[in-house]
Chain A
Amino acid sequence: MRCFINFSLTGFSNSYLVGPNEGGDAIVIDPGELNVKFLKLIENNDFYIKHILVTHNHRAHISGIRTLLKIYNADIYSASDRILGFPSNIINEDSRLTLSGIDIKVMEFPGHSEDSLVFQIHKMLFTGDTISAGNLGDNDDIKTVLSLREMVSSRIKDMDDSILVFPGHGPPSTVKAEKDFNPELFL
């Protein structure tokens, strides 16, 4: 399996491309923008985008969907039934997904937004805005922020330290680094 990252100027967000070593059907997580660089990354690795995973329905993470769907016949998976007017397969904590031959664990983390999801693929955690390096997702409601802190803290403490954290914004991290240095966690 291969994983690539693409930085988007739309919302300064990260999009991820995950697919098999040999190319073929692949997954895009949070397509914030489909720029030429991202398209080359897809095409040069012989990928065809078959699935789009959305961590949450915010512009910085979905703006590339419209263009992606003009080029590829892809299914959308998110916590909502529609994204940008396109039909989406609703997924939640109970969903067991295998897309492009890749097993995906879905975790619900309402907090930054009600529909926030985190995806685990092998030893990689795609966290959207729920966890970023040294920070957690923001919300205007302090009670929601505290609830998210508790939820993330309780779930991350049992996770394997070696898992890589790939957030929707900013640099990557590891579960160990988050446990040790994220000042927002109650550990």
Chain B
Amino acid sequence: MYSHKKCSEKGCLYFAYKDYDKCLEHIENRDKLIKEATLELKNSDIIRNSNLSTIQLDSIELKDKIIVVTNFSNSKFTNIDFSGSSILFSLFQYSTFLNCKFNSTIIKYTVFAGSTFTDCEFLDSNIVNSNFNGIKGENLSFNDSDMYYSTFISSNLKNVTFVECNLKKTDLYKSERTNVNFKYSNYEEAFFNRNR
């Protein structure tokens, strides 16, 4: 498991980066560390047991990677292509994703809660048992994906398509949906309400 150490800066709630005492927001040589991490991520096939929270990545390809038990909480991803990757048991909570691709990915037991997604694709993917609670999503496509047991509780979705998806046990309780399309999907097997 990655370290759960908190940033030592007074009042900061983020995780400390890697083995450092502080998060990337509060480390002095932040830019150098981001460059090093970017290179490391590009050159590694497997990213495992790392705490890379608060990292900011821009315009890199992270295709066909295996990302396991890695903490990317409170991070920012701009123009990142994760296509073909397997993302397992990882944390991406409270992060920002701008124009990112997750096409043909396997995403299992991963937490994206509280993140903001804009102009992102999750096409033809296997997104199982993953937590999207409280996300804000605009212009997203999950078409042709298996969304089994993934949750979008308390999320805000605008212009989002779930066309030809498996939505069995997908939970959208208390989600705000504007122009969300479930065409050709088994939305009757998803949860929109709770009978209590």
A→B interface (CB under 8 Å): 1-3, 5, 7, 12, 14, 122-123, 133-135, 138, 142, 145, 161-162, 164, 169-174, 176-177, 180-183
In-complex Cβ contact of A177 among B109, B114, B194 (8 A): B114
* Chain A, Cβ-Cβ closest to B94: A176
Q: Is B153 an interface residue (CB 8 A)?
A: yes
In this complex, the interface size class of chain B, counting residues with CB under 8 Å from chain A, is 20 to 34
Q: Is B111 an interface residue (CB 8 A)?
A: yes
**Which of B130-138, B157-165, B179-187 touches A?**
B130-138
CB<8 Å pairs between A and B, sample of 8 = A5-B109, A133-B111, A135-B173, A138-B196, A170-B149, A173-B133, A177-B131, A181-B154
Chain A residues within 8 Å of B89, by CB: 5, 172
* Chain A, Cβ-Cβ closest to B174: A183
Q: Is B8 an interface residue (CB 8 A)?
A: no
In-complex Cβ contact of A123 among B4, B94, B133, B154 (8 A): B4
Q: Is the CB of B131 within 8 A of A173?
A: yes
* Cα(A31)–Cα(B133), bound, Å: 27
Chain B residues within 8 Å of A176, by CB: 93-94, 114
Q: Is the CB of A133 within 8 A of B1?
A: no
* Cα(A176)–Cα(B131), bound, Å: 13
Give, as a whole number of angstroms, the nearest-CB distance from B20 to chain A.
Answer: 16
Q: Is B113 an interface residue (CB 8 A)?
A: yes
Q: Is B91 an interface residue (CB 8 A)?
A: yes
